[in-house]
């Protein structure tokens, strides 16, 4: 798998006119990347960008290219060309160019002559494609530089009974090398007189993830972040209960099989993995 590592800060900085690829959470487009160009950055919300697609259109006439406003986590630079020719083989994970975008898939057969049968997960079907329409999967890793005073973050705590959960907090100030004094937004001190402050290592802090709308809702066995006991816990949806309510079992001490609390869909969100890149 190739990795694209930018030189910008933790929130990727894209400039107008810059070429990008766009991921989508819309039904029918999950697992795909479509080429486009950054039009501008939103003035009121610097986490969002207006992007114009190369091959998606705003109407059926195909005369006007589609523009969308997207969170920065949905964008990545186009991957660089491989340094040498890739020798694809059966069982390789690939990205395949199909239906005007790059889709996640796996090679399931070699048809010789530079053609391969690829199972595309987004379509749940097998497609025969030429070698030129395949590339290695790309992992996009925004670079982390530093947290600044007043930044809204989430903190992973080591406190007994709360391990594994992320709690909303604010950066107060740096506190030594790779450490920060933070103030929680929901956890209070022992006297319950003010919000708790702690010194936390940078590796246990992440920016607040952007809101990602799940168009067709969560499904059983989806991995989710579930809001419980004033923090966000990694969990798995175990079964549908009623209407919009879901029961989830987590992978932590509190959300175990003996205590699987019910949570409204309003208190679930997409799991995002935060990586720091040196």
Residues of the chain with CATH 2.30.30.30: 2-76
Q: Which CATH architecture has domain 2-76?
A: Roll (2.30)
Average pLDDT, the chain: 79
Residue with tokens 């950055």: 41
Q: How confident is the model at residue 264 (pLDDT cuts 50, 70, 90)?
A: low
From CA 131, how far away is CA 86, in angstroms rounded? 9
* From the candidate CATH numbers 3.90.1720.10, 2.40.50.140, 2.30.30.140, 2.70.98.40, the one assigned to the domain spanning 209-278: 2.30.30.140
Beta-ladder partners of 93: 106
Residues of the chain with CATH 2.30.30.40: 93-136
Closest CA to 268 of 243, 242, 232, 229: 232
Residues of the chain with CATH 2.30.30.140: 209-278
* pLDDT over 90 at 253, yes or no: no
Handedness of CA 8, 12, 13, 16 (dihedral sign): positive
Output the six-digit token pair for 49.
Answer: 């960008």
The tens digit of pLDDT for each residue in 146-182 reads 677 888 889 987 777 777 888 999 999 988 877 899 9
Handedness of CA 85, 91, 94, 100 (dihedral sign): positive
User: Which distant-in-sequence residues (6+ apart) come within 8 Å of 151 by Cβ?
Assistant: 170, 171, 207
Closest CA to 2 of 185, 135, 182: 135
Residue 235 CA, chain-centre distance (Å), reads 16
Tell me: domain 93-136, CATH 3.40.1440.10, correct?
no
| Choice between 222 and 260, residue whose per-residue pLDDT is larger | 222
Is residue 234 within 8 Å of residue 271, measured between CB atoms? yes
Q: What is the CATH number of domain 152-207?
A: 2.30.30
């Amino acid at each position: 798998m190739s990795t694209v590592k930018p030189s910008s800060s933790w929130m990727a900085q894209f400039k107008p006119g810059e070429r990008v690829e766009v991921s989508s959470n819309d039904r029918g487009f999950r697992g795909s990347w479509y080429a486009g160009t950054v039009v501008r950055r939103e003035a009121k919300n610097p986490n969002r960008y207006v992007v114009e697609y190369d091959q998606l259109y705003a109407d059926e006439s195909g005369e006007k290219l589609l523009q969308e406003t997207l969170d920065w986590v949905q964008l990545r630079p186009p991957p660089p060309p491989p340094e040498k020719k890739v020798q694809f083989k059966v069982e390789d994970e690939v990205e395949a160019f199909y239906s005007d975008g790059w889709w996640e898939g796996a090679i399931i057969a070699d048809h010789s002559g530079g053609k391969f049968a690829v199972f595309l997960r987004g379509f749940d079907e097998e497609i025969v494609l030429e070698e030129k329409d395949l590339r290695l999967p790309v992992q996009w890793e925004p670079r982390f530089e530093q947290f600044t005073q007043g930044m809204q973050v989430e903190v992973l705590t080591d406190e007994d009974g709360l391990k594994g959960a992320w709690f909303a907090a604010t950066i107060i100030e740096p506190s030594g090398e790779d450490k920060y004094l933070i103030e929680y937004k929901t956890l209070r001190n022992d006297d319950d007189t003010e919000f708790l402050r702690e010194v936390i290592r940078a590796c246990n802090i992440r920016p607040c993830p952007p809101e990602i709308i799940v168009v067709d809702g969560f499904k059983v066995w989806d991995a989710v972040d579930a809001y419980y006991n004033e923090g966000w816990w990694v969990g798995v949806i175990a079964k549908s209960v009623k209407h919009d309510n879901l029961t989830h079992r987590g992978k932590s001490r509190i959300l175990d099989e003996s205590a699987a609390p019910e949570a409204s869909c309003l208190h679930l969100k997409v799991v995002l993995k935060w990586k720091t890149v040196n």
